[in-house]
Amino acid sequence: MTLSGLVDFHCHLDLYPDHEKLVTECDKEGVFTLAVTTTPRAWPRNNELASKTKHVRAALGLHPQLVSERASEFALWQEYLPASRYVGEVGLDASPRFYKSFDLQKQIFEKILRSCAQKQDKILTLHSVRAVKPVLDMLEMHLLPNKGKAVLHWFTGTAPEAKRACELGCYFSINAAMLSNDRHRKIIAGLPLDRLLTETDGPFTQAGGSDPARPRDVKLAVEGLASIRSRSPNEMRTMIQENLRQLVSA
């Protein structure tokens, strides 16, 4: 399977030591890559590099795990929003380490969703660790289905939650690490084919060893999806390309 046409819809390019080189690598190899950011201060440099390419786009983020120390940057996030169609990484995290800030996370997430709804053309990649229900509740209340698009990154919810997300129009970005978990594989096997995208979430995942996954390694997710959905890797890659086109065309 060739690299050209692969989709990595969630990768932290600016967290690699060779950030600028990696952006060039993605573009040269033809891997569509969404460079998510964790703070709005990181967005200008990411956008500067991405704007020179055909295949890389930068997303404007305010990561829920950083909200306790970066909530004051929401004003800067809002300032940059008109210039970015893509938003992420944003969302909620109710894991024990970050639960103390959960109320503040919800306040910021609501502001983000309301701001995106006003623009009506934003595509969001969402964090929802131990928080799928409140994320979906807030999406339904403030954004979906008519005022934006949402992609659930590294979805770990239940089958009923997946069904609800589909009914709201959500997409799902799948990485190779998710496919190594039997429960997650079962959920993924039941998702509509036309809602699937792929991701690496690099550098927080590995590709066949200890080295961080790079966007080109998203082929592992394509191959894994192809296996559990009884498709060839090339058929699955084509489906994911079409899903991306549908997502960004509206």
Q: Can you give the pLDDT of all 250 residues of the chain as single tens digits? A: 789 999 999 999 999 999 999 999 999 999 999 999 999 999 999 999 999 999 999 999 999 999 999 999 999 999 999 999 999 999 999 999 999 999 999 999 999 999 999 999 999 999 999 999 999 999 999 999 999 999 999 999 999 999 999 999 999 999 999 999 999 999 999 999 999 999 999 999 999 778 999 999 999 999 999 999 999 999 999 999 999 999 999 7
Fold that domain 7-249 belongs to in CATH: TIM Barrel (3.20.20)
d(CA 232, CA 224): 10
Task: For Cα atoms 21, 22, 23, give the angle at the middle one, nearest 5 degrees.
Answer: 90
d(CA 118, CA 148): 9
pTM: 0.97
Domain boundaries, the chain: 7-249
d(CA 30, CA 24): 10
The DSSP bridge partners found for residue 56 are 33
